[in-house]
A and B are shown apart, each in its own frame.
Chain A
Amino acid sequence: MCLALPARVVELVDMDHAIVDLGGVRKRISIALVPEVRVGDYVIVHVGYAIGMLDADEAEATLKLFAEMSS
């Protein structure tokens, strides 16, 4: 139910709407909850709304954490 996917913003349509690309699928969504978003950003999309933004540096840091081995 809380299913949401990271998608890349490819076009800003107006104040409240953007087109995102999700693995090749393009969709018009509402960005009313993340008005600061810019083209190229990744947003988390849920029921047609971007509910938050994805921090690329933090994603990188988390992937590095997975690769660490317990001593």
Chain B
Amino acid sequence: MKYVDEFRDGALARRIGDNIATEVDPSRDYSFMEFCGGHTHAIARYGVADLLPPNLRMIHGPGCPVCVLPIGRVDMALRLALDRGVMLCTYGDVMRVPASDGLSLIRAKALGADIRMVYSPLDALKLAGANPGRDVVFFAIGFETTTPPTALAIRQAERDGLENFSVLCSHVLTPAAITHILESPEVHDFRTVPIDGFVGPAHVSIVIGSRPYEGFAATYRKPVVIAGFEPLDVMQAILMLVRQVNDGRAEVENEFTRAVTRDGNARAQAMTADVLEVRETFEWRGLGQVPASALMIRERYAAFDAEKRFELNYRAVADHKQCECGAILRGVKRPTECKLFGNVCTPDTPMGSCMVSSEGACAAHYSYGRFRDIPVVAA
């Protein structure tokens, strides 16, 4: 496919790898956090880690919306489907997220709940139109990439007079999460998680632009390089981060210029702002309560807000005791440092959320990296 294949070229990848090896200072270590699950996935799938010098480490960030979705939010959707008889529509990634009582949406579906996996909020709208006698709820999750489509769907539902359609809005915000990580004691005080810079979001930045990162690059003195999700994009961004660190710079640079501008997609931002507003606080799995880090539906569109329509209340639920998803999402632990990894917790039977989505740090390492840890021995 054009604009995909060229950005996966192996020979060019090795050249960028050589450039990184030439330019790193052997007397120091480098650690960079890739915020997005899309980058985590690319690094694992294409073996990017093997092309990096030993003194450069990539730390996986919390930018996988499925992974940071707390049990309590999934429970809200489960209760709607099981107890209130709604037709619950959601993205495929959400279906297997473990929730309370050993349930997940896919298990609830097996129990008879009407749960539909959809590709687009437009599909949920179609279902609402075709089933006027049913309450149809779209369980919306995702970062800024996924938010404008939800906002447009709500506007369209109003235009089409779809009174049986509502949205359980669980959209979260990227800059708030990055700031939260930089303020966390592990990074800020104890420096147990050394972060020298960030590989910045790809598709999120198409929508919000590169400007929102400028504040914390300056305040926290951390370089940010926005990168596309293909392996060459990630490698070039790492090279650009190495150069910033070597020069003592902390700027926002953009490797993904073919799709990201400084101001982003103004129309998408306006649509989102019309329908959604910032929540005071929101619980993230692994990060806890993060102020001003999520969106909710504005009063003007309250008729389409499932939380109001069904009078839902959020109840926090603790994760599985031995699950290390929280520490992994903060970059404090690696997947292999979790006792459950690869034995009871696998992509087929995930115990924690990082094993659910292919972008989760645990699932990515399980699928593509777990044999890298075993030394090759001649037979």
CB-CB contacts below 8 Å: A29-55 with B: 30, 32-35, 42, 44, 46-49, 51-55
**B148→A51 contact, CB < 8 A:** yes
Q: Cβ of A15 < 8 Å from any Cβ of B?
A: no
Instruction: Tell me the smallest distance from the CB of A46 to a CB of chain B, in Å.
Output: 6
Cβ contacts under 8 Å, B229 to chain A: 2-3
| Contact sample, A vs B, 27 pairs, CB 8 Å cutoff | A1-B38, A1-B143, A1-B359, A2-B142, A2-B146, A2-B202, A2-B229, A4-B206, A8-B2, A33-B265, A33-B267, A47-B121, A47-B146, A48-B121, A48-B122, A49-B152, A51-B207, A51-B268, A55-B257, A55-B258, A58-B257, A61-B257, A62-B258, A66-B9, A66-B232, A66-B236, A70-B23
Cβ contacts under 8 Å, A63 to chain B: 6-7
**B152→A2 contact, CB < 8 A:** no
**B268→A33 contact, CB < 8 A:** yes
CB-CB contacts below 8 Å: A1-35 with B: 1-6, 8, 22-23, 30, 32-35
- Where the two chains meet, the residues of B that have a C-beta atom closer than 8 Å to any C-beta of A are 1-4, 6-7, 9, 12, 15-16, 18-19, 22-23, 36-38, 64-66, 91, 93, 119-123, 141-143, 145-146, 148-149, 152, 201-204, 206-207, 229, 232-233, 236, 255-260, 265, 267-268, 271, 357, 359
Cβ contacts under 8 Å, A70 to chain B: 18-19, 22-23
| Given contact pairs A6-B4, A33-B267, A66-B236, A1 touches B64 in the complex (Cβ within 8 A) | yes
- Where the two chains meet, the residues of A that have a C-beta atom closer than 8 Å to any C-beta of B are 1-6, 8, 22-23, 30, 32-35, 42, 44, 46-49, 51-56, 58-59, 61-63, 65-70
Please give 20 more A-B residue pairs, beta carbons under 8 A apart, in addition to A1-B64, A48-B119: A1-B65, A1-B66, A1-B93, A2-B36, A2-B143, A2-B146, A2-B201, A2-B229, A4-B203, A30-B152, A33-B268, A48-B120, A51-B265, A52-B207, A54-B259, A56-B258, A63-B6, A66-B9, A68-B19, A70-B22
Cβ contacts under 8 Å, B65 to chain A: 1-2
**B12→A67 contact, CB < 8 A:** yes
**A4→B152 contact, CB < 8 A:** no
